[in-house]
Structures are given as C-alpha cells and as structure tokens.
C-alpha cells in the first residue's frame, strides 16, 4: 500500500468503523479526508475521550436533523 492508496481510501465516504467521520463530513459538507485525519490526530492525543465521543456520535448523527 502506497500513499496514494491511503489518500484514496481516506477520501472514500464508505464507512471504516462506524462511519462517524464520513457522516460528520457529510452533515457539515466537510472533506472526508480531513475529517478522518482530525479524528485520527484527536484519537492519538486522547484516545479514551475520543472513543467515547466517537460512539456517542455514532448513535446521535443518524437521528440528527439539520436546523435543530
């Protein structure tokens, strides 16, 4: 696997684990690549808190409607 394959995989909106990064990028019209990079950096810096937030968002984001 080279860097181009990694970047292509990170840009792909298909879910990797729970799909929280892809759903967050879609909800706010952000880049899927950079959303995943930010999640990875945050997880490296504080894994316990990010894991908790990640799974809470996995439960909340599918039910969240814009404008509320």
- Per-residue DSSP letter, 39: H
Q: Assign 68 a pLDDT band (cuts: 50, 70, 90).
A: very low
Read off the pLDDT of residues 2-32 as tens digits, 9 standing for 90 and up. Answer: 888 888 888 887 777 667 888 888 888 888 8
Read off the pLDDT of residues 34-44 as tens digits, 9 standing for 90 and up. Answer: 988 998 898 89
pTM of the model: 0.70
Q: How far apart are CA 66 and CA 13, in angstroms?
A: 19
């Amino acid at each position: 696997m080279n860097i181009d394959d990694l970047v292509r995989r990170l840009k792909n909106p298909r879910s990797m684990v729970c799909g929280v990064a892809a759903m967050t990028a879609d909800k706010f019209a952000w880049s899927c690549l950079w959303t995943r990079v930010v999640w990875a950096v945050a997880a490296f810096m504080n894994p316990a808190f990010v894991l908790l937030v990640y799974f809470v968002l996995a439960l909340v984001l599918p039910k969240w409607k814009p404008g509320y």
